[in-house]
Structure formats: structure tokens, C-alpha cells
Amino acid sequence: MSIQKIKITVIGIIFLFLSANWPAFAAETPVVSLPNPNDLGPEKEPIKQQTERPAISSSLVPSAAEGMVTINVDASAPGKPLRHVWQYFGYDECNCTTTPGAKELMKTLANISPEPVYLRQHFLLTNGDGRPELKWGSTNVYTEDSAGNPIYDWGIMDEIFDAILASGCRPLVEIGFMPKDLSSKPEPYKGKDVFSRNKAGVSYPPKNYNKWAELIRQWACHSLARYKNVEETWLWELWNEPNIFYWQGTFEEYCKLYDYTEHALHEILPKAILGGPHTAGAPSFLRRFLEHCLRGTNTVTGKPGTRLDYIGFHSKGQIKMVGLHPQMKLGMNLSVLQQGFSIIAGFQEFRNTPIIIGECDPEGLAALSARVEPANSYRNSSAYAAYEIALMKHTLDLAAQHKINLQGVLTWAFMFDGSEYFEGFRSLATKGIHKPVLNGFKMLGMLRGRRIPVTSSGALSLAHIISRSVRARPDVDGLAAATDERVQVLIWNYHDDMINVAPSSIQLTVKAPPAQSVLQKSILPSDEVRRAGPQNAPRRARIVHYRIDDTHSNSYTRWIELGKSQNPSPEMIADLNTAAQVQLLEPIRFCDVSNDQIQLNFSLPRYGVSLVEIYWGPKPE
């Protein structure tokens, strides 16, 4: 074994320990365009049905079969608008933003969401060579001359934000980390190892808070002059996880930095939306910071309180190998969210303040690949997609329970330039090939309308998942949305243990909306409508069924089938891109609406995700 591999392995072991103890530690301290099936004739398909092939997953081991699950959806229920909270993404390496692959991926993210997509990056104020590097980035915005006078250089920063905005995405600007010439401990400025980059001068408080404040003013002025609608459309936040090693100052020093930052930013951009503290987990640091913003002495004004436009904190789950298979822990993630929501709900003044979960992921180390930690192989599979979709639904429910204003849940995953195909970093794409998890976000982005009730005999309660996670039986549940002309039901089969089992049998029953409320735009063949007349045509429904599993919408299993090549031919890359699209489980079909409902039966494998769309036709005679 080479010295480099030994070094990587040792680093991996150390930080697997940190990852496993993250919540406890923190507590203490090409674009796929999906056509509208309603615009297609009865013989057309929006996406080519994938040829069935044997399921392949090197990280699954056999287990017992799963049983019948009945799922009921009431499309006649009024419901409230479905809140999209999942269109937030982030990554460490800010300099990756300007690469061709990143630009394409950002365009994809912008195109798959009906709501604005926000991107968050670390290291926007850091000094370095300006090149992409694992868990590091730099812009050299701020330096000082020999007399200590500031020198501002916005060149690299402009390239980053130009790329974000050109893609159709928006910035969630993380103000940090500390420029070398402003650091109160500039040497050593950068940690030696990949996972200790921030245990150095880059994470220390400023030597001069007034110079820091002027940097923020200059940044705000430059952004206002260069870009449109900065105040109305950008989000801002101060630092990353200041309750752990990312901040080498005290709690009081962070509050002081926030006071100076808030005052300077809003002096130039009075309507800018600034939040914090983006802690790791929901520790006492979060509660104390909220107290400071409400009643603490502002170190700039000397008056009580500091403006806080939104509240941010982070939540992670856990991943480990159990025998031969990876085991996730969804319950841990939701438990951290519950703690944070409880803290915020305890402040009546913050009941309506937006909340953004600035990172929310299955585990804590995006840059630790499956080569170092085999459990991270989940990132290539449909398991990651099922986890994220289940997490989003349960997080929405948890926020509703606490009666707080959840605005966003950010996934800390993007891409890793220079990595190999399916190396197992926490990413949305690998060398431009969309991974199954990205297809999960495409499905979430397709949901429209009001949220309507779903009951499932296979669903686990939120309390059960928080207390026991998903260890005995799977969580087979759904999230549904409806408009007057269609209903969409997103169904998943999730379990913490990545083991291979027989599929669950799903019986999906959907109660149709009243016939008079259905739009009269026909989905039936035109000759049938002409014979019966649009008001007297039999009432039917068009069924469009999308699927993510081992044999659908899965570039990873296709890559395995093709021999796991790290030098694929152009034909193989085209094949992988085809497999990476959201695909139909079956051809589009029609069925009659009987007794104001329809019933569908299908199987759903472990970690499978189905999006069933039902388009209603004219009312019957």
C-alpha cells in the first residue's frame, strides 16, 4: 500500500469517528426535459420505457420478503399548497462553480424546480491560489498592503456568482471564512490535511472588526452595482457551524461578528435577508444566539437585540457498515431537526421567522468517498433517492407539528471535479452523469398544486422513526399533490439497512375529485369524444408511472452492467446518460374511473420510488 493510500485511510478512520459522533459533538460544542403527458396523444410516451434487466446492487444482501401495502389518496380533499423546500444545494469547493460540468449541473437544477434554486458554498472570502481543491476554495477578495490598507479584488468572486446567476440559480451567500490578512491568527492559515483545513487561521475571528465590517460593505456595494435584484432575491448567512472547529473563536466573538456583519450589510442593502447561526446540530449555541438576537446587547449599536431575518442550523444522520451491508439512520437526522424546531418554537418572537436547514444529509462527510468508507456506497444507488424523499416528507410534517415556518432544506451534495466515475462522494452527478438521487429531486420538482392526504398501511409514524429509526419494517409511504386536472402520488420504500428483499406489493386507491371540478380539456382519443360529446364521454383517467429502482432511472446499475469502466467509450457514455433519465415503469395507459375512484396495483422494491400521475377526463354520462 502506498503512503498516500495509508494517509487517506488513516484520515478516513479518524473522520468516520467524527462523523459518527457529529450530532453529539455539535450539541456540546445533460438537462432532462420531462414533457407534460397531457400534451401527448394516447400512443405517445414522454420518455422511452427502459428495457427490463436484472437488478444489480453490489451493496445489497438478501433478506425476507415484504408484504402488501395499501395506500389511499383523497384527491377530493381541499388541502393547502404543497411547500417546496428541497430546492437548496451546497458544496465546499466554491471554485468548482465555474467549471463546465458545474455550469451544466446548475442549469439542470434550475430547470427541474418550479421554485428558485439556491446554492451555498464555503470559502468565499478565503485566500489561496483560486483553484478547485477538495474541501477548500479561495477568491483572494481581501488582502492588505504593507501599510495595512485593504486591497479588494472581486475577479474570482465575480466568476463564481456570474456562473450561478447565468444558470438560473440564486446565491445563498455564506459570509466566510476569514481572509488571511484579517485573521487574528494568520499562521498557519490552512490545515495540513483534507479534513483539517479549517483548524487554522482561516477560522479565527478578525483582528479588526471595523475592517471586517468595511469588507462586508464593499462586498454589498459591489454586488449591488454588478447584479440585479440582489436585495430581493439573494440570501445571506454568516459562517458555517460556528459551534465546532469551523470557528476558532468564542460564542461571544461570534455574536460580535454577527452584529458587525448585520449592521454593515443592511447599511448598504437594507432589505437583504441575513440569517444564522448555521450550527452543527441544534445545541445550546443555537438557543443562546436566538437570545442574543432578541435581547442581547448589540456590540455595534449598544442597544438590545440584533436583526435576524431567518434561522439556520444543520442536521445529519449516520451511516456505518453492519456486517456486509451499509446501515443508515434516518431517525437520527429527524431527531436533530426535532430538537432545533423545538428550540425555535420556544421563542414566540420567532414563530413566523423563516427557517432554512443549511445542511441536511444522511451523514456528515461529503468528501469521504466509498473507497475509504464502503458504507458510503449508498450514494450511488437508489437508496439515496429514497432517503431524501422520505426525509423531505417527514421534515415537512415535523415542521407542521411545531408550527414553525420551514422555508428550505439544503442538501450538501453537488459534484466533485477530478473524481472517478461513481467513486462514492456525496454528489448529484458523476462526470456529468446524473445519479439516481438527482432523479429523486427531479420527481420532487415535478409535484404541483395542493398537498392532499395520504394514508399508507406501510407507513411508520414520525414518532416511531425519531425514536427507533427504520430498523424493523420499512417505511412505505407517500406524498401527494393535486390540481383540478391531475393528482400526483410519490411513493417510496425506505429502510435503514441496505439489504435486498422481495418487493412490496402496492395497492394504490385514489378517490377522484368531483366530476364538475375537473377541467373539460379531454385526455381521451378525439374520435371517442366526438361520438359521445365532451360532456357525455365516459370518465377515464390517464396513468403515467415513473420509477427509480435498480432497473429504471439508474445510471449506476447500468455502469456496473457495462463493466464499471473508468474510460467509457462515447457510446457507453450515451448509454449511461439514457439510463440517467427519469424513466417510465410502463407505457402510458388509460383506466376507467369506477365509483369515483381508481385502483392501481404494482410492486415496489426496497429503495424503489414511484411517481404516479393520474390525469382526469370528462365526467361520465
Residue range 460-478: mean pLDDT, rounded:
98
Distance CA 497, CA 564 (A): 24
Same domain, 182 and 318: yes
Q: What would the pLDDT profile of 306-365 be if each residue is shown by its tens digit?
A: 999 999 999 999 999 999 999 999 999 999 999 999 999 999 999 999 999 999 999 999
**pLDDT score for 59:** 46
**pLDDT score for 618:** 54
For residue 287, being part of any structural domain is answered with: yes
Q: What would the pLDDT profile of 213-269 be if each residue is shown by its tens digit?
A: 999 999 999 999 999 999 999 999 999 999 999 999 999 999 999 999 999 999 999
Same domain, 521 and 399: no
**Taking a C-beta distance cutoff of 8 angstroms, is the pair 244, 21 a contact?**
no
Lowest mean pLDDT among 32-46, 112-126, 233-247, 405-419: 32-46
**Taking a C-beta distance cutoff of 8 angstroms, is the pair 508, 599 a contact?**
yes
Buried b (16+ CB within 10 A) or exposed e, 168-204: ebbbbbbbbbbbbbbbebbeebbbeebbebbbbbbbb
Distance CA 311, CA 2 (A): 46
**Taking a C-beta distance cutoff of 8 angstroms, is the pair 264, 213 a contact?**
yes
Residue 456 has pLDDT above 70, yes or no: yes
Q: Do β-strands 583-584 and 142-144 pair in parallel, antiparallel, or remain unpaired?
A: unpaired
Could you tell me where the DSSP H helices lie in 518-619? Answer: 526-532, 555-561, 570-579
Same domain, 249 and 351: yes
Q: What cell does 121 get?
A: 458554498
Confidence of residue 551 (pLDDT cuts 50, 70, 90): very high
Lowest mean pLDDT among 29-33, 403-407, 495-499, 563-567: 29-33
**pLDDT score for 50:** 42
Q: Choose one of 446, 480, 503: the last residue of a domain.
A: 446
**pLDDT score for 248:** 97
Residue 378 exposure: Cα atoms within 13 Å on the Cβ side: 31
Residue range 487-513: mean pLDDT, rounded:
96
Nearest to 220 by CA among 297, 135, 157: 157
Distance CA 128, CA 336 (A): 35
For residue 24, being part of any structural domain is answered with: no
Lowest mean pLDDT among 19-33, 388-402, 431-445, 485-499: 19-33
Close Cβ partners of 293 (under 8 Å, ≥ 6 residues apart): 258, 305, 306, 307, 308
Residue 619 has pLDDT above 60, yes or no: no
326 in helix, strand or coil? strand
For residue 2, being part of any structural domain is answered with: no
Residue 424 has pLDDT above 60, yes or no: yes
Same domain, 438 and 455: no
**pLDDT score for 530:** 41
Q: CA of 156: how far to CAs of 84, 132, 170, 177, in Å?
A: 32, 12, 17, 15
Confidence of residue 66 (pLDDT cuts 50, 70, 90): low
What is the full DSSP assignment across 499-531?
Answer: -B-PPEEEEEEEEPPPGGGS-----S-HHHHHH
| Distance, CA of 139 to chain centre | 25
Same domain, 213 and 90: yes
Same domain, 426 and 537: no
Confidence of residue 141 (pLDDT cuts 50, 70, 90): very high
- Report the number of distinct structural domains present in the chain: 2
What's the pTM? 0.89
Task: Count CB atoms within 10 A of the CB of residue 292.
Answer: 24
CATH number, position 63 = 2.60.40.1500
Q: Choose one of 446, 463, 479: the last residue of a domain.
A: 446
Close Cβ partners of 288 (under 8 Å, ≥ 6 residues apart): 251
Q: What cell does 276 get?
A: 444564522
Give the range of the structural domain holding residue 591, as residue numbers without chain letter.
37-79+451-616
Lowest mean pLDDT among 189-198, 270-279, 382-391, 485-494: 189-198
* Average pLDDT score over the chain: 88
Nearest to 319 by CA among 268, 269, 360, 377: 377
Same domain, 354 and 495: no
Residue 43 has pLDDT above 90, yes or no: no
**pLDDT score for 284:** 95
**Taking a C-beta distance cutoff of 8 angstroms, is the pair 28, 243 a contact?**
no
Distance CA 493, CA 128 (A): 45
CATH number, position 259 = 3.20.20.80
Q: Which residue type sits at 32?
A: V
Same domain, 181 and 44: no
Residue 78 has pLDDT above 50, yes or no: yes
Instruction: For cell 422511452, name the residue.
Output: 48
Same domain, 73 and 120: no
For residue 381, being part of any structural domain is answered with: yes
**pLDDT score for 513:** 85
Residue 552 has pLDDT above 50, yes or no: yes
Distance CA 277, CA 260 (A): 14
For residue 8, being part of any structural domain is answered with: no
Residue 293 has pLDDT above 80, yes or no: yes
**pLDDT score for 15:** 42
Buried b (16+ CB within 10 A) or exposed e, 110-137: bbbbeeebbbbbbbbbbbbebebbbbbb
Confidence of residue 196 (pLDDT cuts 50, 70, 90): confident
Q: What would the pLDDT profile of 104-130 be if each residue is shown by its tens digit?
A: 999 999 999 999 999 999 999 999 999
Same domain, 426 and 540: no
Lowest mean pLDDT among 52-56, 59-63, 159-163: 52-56
**Taking a C-beta distance cutoff of 8 angstroms, is the pair 591, 617 a contact?**
no
Give percent of the chain above pLDDT 70: 85
Same domain, 433 and 334: yes
User: CA dihedral defined by 287, 293, 294, 296, rounded to 10 degrees?
Assistant: 90
For residue 10, being part of any structural domain is answered with: no
Residue 436 has pLDDT above 50, yes or no: yes
Which H, E and C letters describe 363-388, residue by residue? Answer: CCCCCCCCCCCHHHHHHHCHHHHHHH
Lowest mean pLDDT among 342-346, 400-404, 482-486: 482-486
Q: Which residue type sits at 253?
A: E
Q: What cell does 575 get?
A: 448509454
For residue 6, being part of any structural domain is answered with: no
Nearest to 474 by CA among 450, 456, 491, 458: 458
Residue range 139-168: mean pLDDT, rounded:
98
**Taking a C-beta distance cutoff of 8 angstroms, is the pair 607, 503 a contact?**
no
Q: Choose one of 446, 467, 502: the last residue of a domain.
A: 446
**pLDDT score for 264:** 98
Same domain, 409 and 285: yes
